[in-house]
Amino acid sequence: MTSSYDTDDVSAWLRLLDTPGVGIHTALRLLRTFGLPQQIFAHSYSELTQCVSETIAQALLAPPSPLTQERIARTLDWLAQPDNHLINLADESYPPLLLEMADPPALLYVRGRLSALVQPAIALVGSRQATLQGTQDAQHFARTLATAGLIVISGLASGIDAAAHRGALTAIDGQTIAVVGTGIDRVYPATHLALAHEIAQQGAIVSEFPLGTPPARHHFPQRNRIIAGLSRGVVVIEAAAQSGSLITARLASEMGREVFALPGSIHSPLAKGCHALIKQGAKLTESAEDILQELRLPLTATASPISKNTASEPILGGLIGHKPVTLDEICTHTGLDITQANAQLLHLELAGEVELMANGRYRRLN
């Protein structure tokens, strides 16, 4: 295993998320209350029950099950291989845009380039049963947007997703990210094994699911929120009225991201979803240039959209002293909106630098 990973730290994160009853919301509550996983496990039963139920407190204090121990060993072996990464909420390399989500993944398994996760990105999604025209549109849009310096994100599914990945890979220095709904050591569909290998070489494959996790229907909406969260906008190319791509578009809209939709024939079932999005306020999109103009991006690489957030963290650190301050005061003095401020504060909390008090104010801990 590479020296950049602490075995005890990795084991504690995996044990926490493998604890029965601990989903992402419970994990976040425990992390906010007690600190990093190793600190959580160091607390007593009575202390834990102030935050979670008695059943979960007992599960947290129980020794790791044989299944959890096997999962930890398997993950450590996986991390020993080149270009495999595991990043947690407290890591500096964790994508800041995901911290703006209400339910950011506690762990991200990444195969490929970590740097791809913090560069400006656009998601291209659509039908698995894409037409030839839809496939060509996805490839053309992806190639143009990747040439302009955007990372193209999709879900490695058949149809539009695969076309988007392939289009980005054909651009000079084009990079693409595949967010998958399985363990990162599995490729679904299996026919995309070669494509997944190319993506990992020129970008990254990302999953929040433990190694070995098989595909399941309920995993894909979870995957879709990460696709939306990592992106500055979501482009929908061919989608039926009940398409899963509409979930990604809705999540993107709720996160304040731009939503774009390509129109189609009124007679085509695969245009129904896109037309519904346009009626709801999505940008009617006829070319990749429409997207770049809406995002105010030139046809060349641009600076990362998270630079403001990253630069603002020292400001937050300097603003918050031992005298408690409110979230409104932080926003007023930094110029950040509430979402951006919350993202930075979560990072500082997990790093043990600030504390959220019972009265809703923040104070410095060191």
Alpha-carbon distance of 246 to 77, in angstroms, equals: 37
In a domain, residue 269? The reply is yes
Q: Which pLDDT score, from 0 to 100, does residue 272 have? A: 95
- Shared domain for 328 and 252, answered yes or no, is no
Please give the residue range of the domain that contains residue 6: 1-79
pLDDT at 301 over 60: no
Same domain, yes or no, for 45 and 146?
A: no
Element (H, E) at 222: helix 219-230
User: How many domains, in total, are found in the chain?
Assistant: 3
**Model confidence over 307-348: pLDDT tens digits?**
333 334 446 555 676 678 888 878 877 777 777 777 788 778
What is the rounded distance in angstroms from the CA atom of residue 93 to the CA atom of residue 73? Answer: 23
Residue 97 lies in a domain: no
Q: CATH number for the domain including 63?
A: 1.10.150
Asked whether residue 237 is domain-assigned, the answer is: yes
If asked whether residues 70 and 138 sit together in one domain, one would say: no
Are residues 72 and 133 located together in one domain of the fold? Answer: no
Q: How far apart are CA 48 and CA 51, in angstroms?
A: 6
39 and 4 in a common domain = yes
Find the CATH number of the domain harbouring 283: 3.40.50.450
Does residue 158 lie in a domain region? yes
**Tokens coding 156:** 């490695």
- Do residue 355 and residue 313 come from a single domain? yes
Whole-number Cα distances in Å, 123 to 161, 227, 231: 9, 7, 6
118 and 244 fall within a common domain: yes
Task: Verify that 49 and 169 share a domain, yes or no.
Answer: no
Question: How many whole angstroms separate alpha carbon 118 and alpha carbon 96?
Answer: 7
> For residue 37, what is the enclosing H or E element?
helix 37-41
Let me know if residue 101 belongs to a domain: no
**pLDDT tens per residue, range 1-60:** 344 689 999 999 999 999 999 999 999 999 999 999 999 999 999 999 999 999 999 999
Q: How many helices (H) and strands (E) does the chain have?
A: 17, 11
Range from 11-20, 202-211, 281-290, 357-366 carrying the lowest mean pLDDT: 357-366
- For residue 215, being part of any structural domain is answered with yes
- Residue 317's CATH number: 1.10.10.10
Would you say residue 273 lies in a domain?
yes
Task: Tell whether 212 and 348 lie within a shared domain.
Answer: no
**Cis preceding-peptide flag for 189 (omega within 30 of 0):** yes
Residue 91: inside a domain: no
